[in-house]
Amino acid sequence: MRIPAGREPAPALRAGTDIDVLPLLISALALAALLLGGFVVVAPNRLLSGSPLSLWQAAGPGGAASLLAILGVIALLAARPALRLQRVLISLAAGALMLLSLALAGMAASEQAVAAGRLTRVSLGAGFWTLFVAGLLLLADGAEREPRRAGKALPLLATLLGLAALIASGRLAHLSLAREYAVRQQAYLDELLRHLQLTGAGLALALVAGGAIGLLAYRRPQRAGPVFAVLNIVQTIPSLALFALLIGPLTVLTGLFPALRQLGIAGIGPFPAILALGLYGLLPVARGVHAGLSAVPPAVVEAARGMGMTGGQIVRHTLIPLALPTLLQTLRLTLVQLIGLAVLAALIGAGGLGTFIFQGLGQTAADLVLLGALSAIALALIADTALRGLALFLLRRPAP
Amino acid sequence: MIRFEGICKSFGGARAVNDVTLDVARGSLCALVGTSGSGKSTLLRLANRLLEADEGSIRFDGADVTNIPPVELRRRMGYVIQSVGLFPHWTVERNIATVPRLLGWPSARIDQRVAELLDLVGLPPGLHARRYPDELSGGQQQRVGVARALAGEPELLLMDEPFGAVDPPTRRGLQDSLMAIQKRTGTTILLVTHDVEEAIRLGGTLAVLDQGRLLQTGTPAQVLAQPATDAVARFFGGPLLGLNRLKALRVGDRAHAGAPSPGEGEPIDAEATLEAALARMVAEGRSRLPVRRLANGAPGVLDLADLVRP
Amino acid sequence: MRMAGRLARRPVVWVGAIFLALTFGMGGLAPHLGFLFRAGTRLVYTRASFPELVASHALLTGAASLIAIAIGLAAALFATRPAGRAYAATLDRLGALAQTFPPVAVLALAVPSLGYGALPTGFALVLYGVLPVMGAGMAGLRSVPAAVLEAADGTGFSPGTRLWRIELPLAAPILLAGVRTSVTIGIGTATIGSTVGALTLGSPIIDGLSGDNPAFVLQGTVLVALFAVTVDLAIGEAQRALPQRPN
């Protein structure tokens, strides 16, 4: 809403030039990677490494031409800054690029499965990933810069819908990633749920405890320094060590008081994982709450008091609404961070998406690693986007 | 309207307000003046119980303020501060409606009140009602601040250096508006200022504070004619006190009957300050000015000697 | 004498001393810790000695951090010069997007193309190390008041001298805070790197977790936590040593 003091507003991206550079740059990179790297990789079975197939070989002339055509459209659109819907159109094209490359890879996998037999594994190659990430970057860029809320949401929603339809159609079923998923469908859903539970519980812990600490630091500024110094040390400890650090004391504790075990407290498993996640979220939450409340101008609080607002009314009408942008950002950053960290929970027997990553690393099964890693990334991206959307919705302020 | 009696207030051993007794009559304007640290802001904040007195009592409309819950008390008093403190996330309209909403007025009455107040403080409602505070100039923001303070039809308006943060021409405009508003609404005003000119200009009663003590009360003319102590004289200009006294007096106070002779220039208004009269004499090189209408309606004259008459 | 006394009171000195003592003493200490664990637990980590693990961890983090700082600073400089200012917003956005990706996931994704060991770890280290330095560098350089820059130009500084004598010194506190964050993240990421086979202080933790050996886990966690806190405090000392700038 306001530009922070001491920071000049970001200069207009296209100052001095007429062409939007980023989409051009990204599509050029994607093109280069497509020409140099393999689009999909074909391996004789799950554990052997495979050989790359180029886009031309994998998707045929028709598929290759249509992908290149979309890249061309993006480049053309980038050169037309006068177009009113330019950003929305680029974002839609980026979504189409992602969906089409996925569909082509899926079809290539089906063909290989028919031609070379059931054991053959077709995984996604460097060329595919470059295209896919390029599309993702363009979507993110468009959502960030498009001023209208509908223009921000539409391409994202369209792409997500397309993705869902593509998965439902079964066209991707022969990709090795889908096959890894298919053989452990139930386990995957369980671990995904577990991941969400761990993250949710850790976040709740961090919000309650961190929020209280942030509030205390705001109310008693002289205590803020030491409190944040201690939290800083917690944040400095490597995440893996923090997870592992709790094993010892908790094992000793449950050894001394076996009754605790009945409450689900144990040295390994979900309990220490949630505790570690909560500890890690403590500093960002406390700092965000403190910063958000401190940014409320004292004159506003004084005026509210002088006008006869009760303590609750001051909190409801001034402190919370004015701190809301910072609070929402804190929530978003903490949630995204905890989703990522919860991957480590698998190492201390708490499950979650990390289970597949570490199993895959142990078996050198790249596709299993991919299943876990991509799911974690997707989860983080979805959480990030959803909370950005929520902030946009809550912080809207009608045009004067 | 409000009466301070034997008020003392200390902060960590330092006496900020020391045995102050002051009575502000209903419908009057009282300016608490003094240098920074004289205790004037503390005294003001004791009135609406943002601070609590250590000793003494404050009676508001006859009742001891400690018997009125702070929230209720504050809603019966308007409060304006130098940094305004408008709620940045609310429109001008919503800001002004703060206290009426807290008081639970019906929305039709609130709308009517907001329009009335915007008009009163000189902001056309059509232009400003839906704007946000950061879209207004400093002077406009303070006008909204005054409107917001008046919204709940307070019996007393407390103002803490309300015009300290705006430039001099804007400040004079706001002072004129405030005087006009008081004339129309009859609200009692207790105002803190360290600006000598403002204190004299707004008229009413001055209450001069120094190091927590109330040194003198009276009209500007009285205080400047007979400063009670050296500290009061120093505050009102020291060696230049006499010049400030000219600001507190009007031409009509000193002019005498007499027919103006031709060639004495434009007549001056009886309402003008003696300072303005002196300025014209200096600029035009005269020692006599014709006066347009005296209190009895007859024309008069003002001599340089009238200015220095005791 | 008094200076030495004052020095000894600084936390970095005694935390660092404990860290060094444990690094070299862990081998001797470990066999006596049997009372803490179940009978039969192997107490001495044999894959590498602790000084070796610390050296490997420090080397990996140090090298990657240097590269990350160089890249991040270069990007920040580029984005705040007239020629690159148009790309500042884009770099900000890319940084924000990259920050969303979980480090473990990126580490794991790097394995198929980079293999196991130090290489994918170094890649992830550099990637995550660049972001805070770039962000802090841009924030620091932007925090230099416009009036100061104008005064410098008016006094006849060349762009290069202005950068070196005015902008960088004024941006240094914020920049160093970014370096501190970057190195802390680096030490943490290197620890996780042991899941993809890099030899770091995370190795005893991972081996202990997978081999159900709490002794290894304890040794690794204590050392790596002390290492991270020591380095963090040391950079904190460097920050304090900078000339104070009233804000």
Q: What is the 3-state secondary structure (H, E, C) of A229-295?
A: HHHHHHHHCCHHHHHHHCHHHHHHHHHHCCHHHHCCCCCCCHHHHHHHHHHHHHHHHHHHHHHHHHC
B8-35 mean pLDDT: 92
What are the distances in angstroms from CA B114 to CA A37, B71, B142, B150, B162?
68, 22, 15, 10, 20
C120-139 residues touching A, CB cutoff 8 A:
139
Q: Which residues in chain A have Cβ-Cβ distances shorter than 8 Å to B48?
A: 306
Out of A107-111, A327-331, B245-249, B284-288, the most confident range is: A327-331
Tell me which residue has tokens 């990933």: A129
Answer whether residue A376 shows pLDDT above 60: yes
A250 shares its domain with A177? no
Which residue in the set C90, C94, C228 is minimally distant from A237, CB to CB? C228
Q: What confidence score (pLDDT) does residue A396 get?
A: 67
User: Is C191 within 8 Å of A344 when comparing Cβ atoms?
Assistant: no
Q: What confidence score (pLDDT) does residue B220 get?
A: 92
Band the pLDDT of A392: cuts 50, 70, 90. Answer: confident
Where is average pLDDT lowest: A46-60, B151-165, B178-192? A46-60
A128: closest CA of chain C, how far (Å): 14
β-pairing, B29-33 vs B205-210, is: parallel
Task: State whether residue C48 sits within 8 Å of chain A by CB.
Answer: no
Task: In whole angstroms, give the CA distance from residue B204 to residue A140.
Answer: 63
Q: What confidence score (pLDDT) does residue C175 get?
A: 93
A164 shares its domain with A190? no
Contact (CB, 8 A) for C127 and C114:
no
Band the pLDDT of B229: cuts 50, 70, 90. Answer: very high
A308: closest CA of chain C, how far (Å): 35
Q: Which residues in chain A have Cβ-Cβ distances shorter than 8 Å to C184?
A: 235-236
Contact (CB, 8 A) for A351 and A345:
yes
Segments of chain C scoring below 50 in pLDDT: 246-247
B223 shares its domain with B262? no
Which residue in the set C99, C184, C195 is minimally distant from A361, CB to CB? C195
The CATH number that applies at residue B81 is 3.40.50.300
Band the pLDDT of A30: cuts 50, 70, 90. Answer: confident
A256 shares its domain with A319? yes
Asked, for residue A6, whether it belongs to a domain, the answer is no
Q: Which residue of C has its CA nearest to A10?
A: C89
B45: closest CA of chain A, how far (Å): 9
B201 shares its domain with B299? no
Q: By percentage, how much of chain B surpasses pLDDT 90?
A: 50
Asked, for residue B244, whether it belongs to a domain, the answer is no
Q: To probe the interface with B, which of A301, A307, A324 has the most B CB atoms within 10 Å?
A: A307
Answer whether residue B96 shows pLDDT above 70: yes
Query: pLDDT for A149-185, tens place per residue?
Result: 888 889 999 999 999 999 899 888 888 888 889 889 9
Domains contained in chain B, number: 2
Contact (CB, 8 A) for C191 and C64:
no
Listed residues A183, A207, A237: the one ending a domain:
A183
A375-395 mean pLDDT: 90
Query: How does the average pLDDT of chain A come out, rounded?
Result: 85
Residue A42, SS3 per DSSP = strand
Listed residues B239, B264, B289: the one ending a domain:
B239
Q: Which residue of B has its CA nearest to A310?
A: B71
Chains that touch C (3 or more CB pairs under 8 A): A
B50 shares its domain with B193? yes
Listed residues A183, A205, A239: the one ending a domain:
A183
The CATH number that applies at residue B270 is 3.90.1280
A164 shares its domain with A243? no
A45-49 mean pLDDT: 76
B215 shares its domain with B254? no
Report domain extents, chain C. Answer: 69-241
Residue A43, SS3 per DSSP = strand
Q: What confidence score (pLDDT) does residue C4 get?
A: 65
User: Is A380 within 8 Å of C100 when comparing Cβ atoms?
Assistant: yes
Which residue in the set A12, A14, A240 is minimally distant from C191, CB to CB? A240
Query: pLDDT for A89-125, tens place per residue?
Result: 999 999 999 999 999 999 988 888 888 777 788 888 8
Chains C and A touch (3+ CB pairs under 8 A): yes
The CATH number that applies at residue A374 is 1.10.3720.10
Band the pLDDT of A19: cuts 50, 70, 90. Answer: low
Query: pLDDT for B150-161, tens place per residue?
Result: 998 899 999 999
Query: pLDDT for C216-240, tens place per residue?
Result: 888 899 999 999 999 999 998 888 8
A177 shares its domain with A289? no
Task: In whole angstroms, give the CA distance from residue C121 to residue C118.
Answer: 5
A324: closest CA of chain C, how far (Å): 20
Query: Which class in CATH covers the domain with range C69-241?
Result: mainly alpha
Asked, for residue B140, whether it belongs to a domain, the answer is yes
Task: State whether residue C219 sits within 8 Å of chain A by CB.
Answer: no
Where do the H-state alpha helices sit in chain C?
Answer: 2-9, 11-29, 50-80, 88-100, 103-114, 118-143, 146-155, 159-161, 168-193, 202-210, 214-241
Task: State whether residue C93 sits within 8 Å of chain A by CB.
Answer: yes
Residue range of the domain that includes B178: 2-239
Answer whether residue B129 shows pLDDT above 70: yes
Q: What confidence score (pLDDT) does residue C37 get?
A: 74
Listed residues B217, B239, B261: the one ending a domain:
B239
Is the reported ipTM for this assembly greater than 0.90? no
A299: closest CA of chain B, how far (Å): 5
Answer whether residue A251 shows pLDDT above 90: no
Which residue in the set A307, A318, A400 is minimally distant from B74, CB to CB? A307
Amino acid making up residue B124:
P
B139 shares its domain with B265? no
C163: closest CA of chain A, how far (Å): 18
Which residue in the set A126, A239, A354 is minimally distant from C188, CB to CB? A239
Band the pLDDT of B253: cuts 50, 70, 90. Answer: confident
Residue range of the domain that includes A29: 21-183
Q: What confidence score (pLDDT) does residue A82 get?
A: 78
Answer whether residue A142 shows pLDDT above 90: no
β-pairing, B14-24 vs B2-11, is: antiparallel
A312 shares its domain with A191? yes
CA B237 to chain centre: 19
B213-234 mean pLDDT: 92
Domains contained in chain A, number: 2
β-pairing, B156-160 vs B77-81, is: parallel
Asked, for residue B139, whether it belongs to a domain, the answer is yes
Query: pLDDT for A302-354, tens place per residue?
Result: 999 998 899 889 988 999 999 999 999 999 999 999 999 999 999 888 889 99
Residue B288, SS3 per DSSP = strand
Chains B and A touch (3+ CB pairs under 8 A): yes
Band the pLDDT of B307: cuts 50, 70, 90. Answer: confident
Listed residues A130, A151, A183: the one ending a domain:
A183
Query: How does the average pLDDT of chain B come out, rounded?
Result: 90
Q: Phi, psi (5° rounding) for residue B2?
A: -135, 140
Q: Which residue of B has its CA nearest to A318?
A: B87
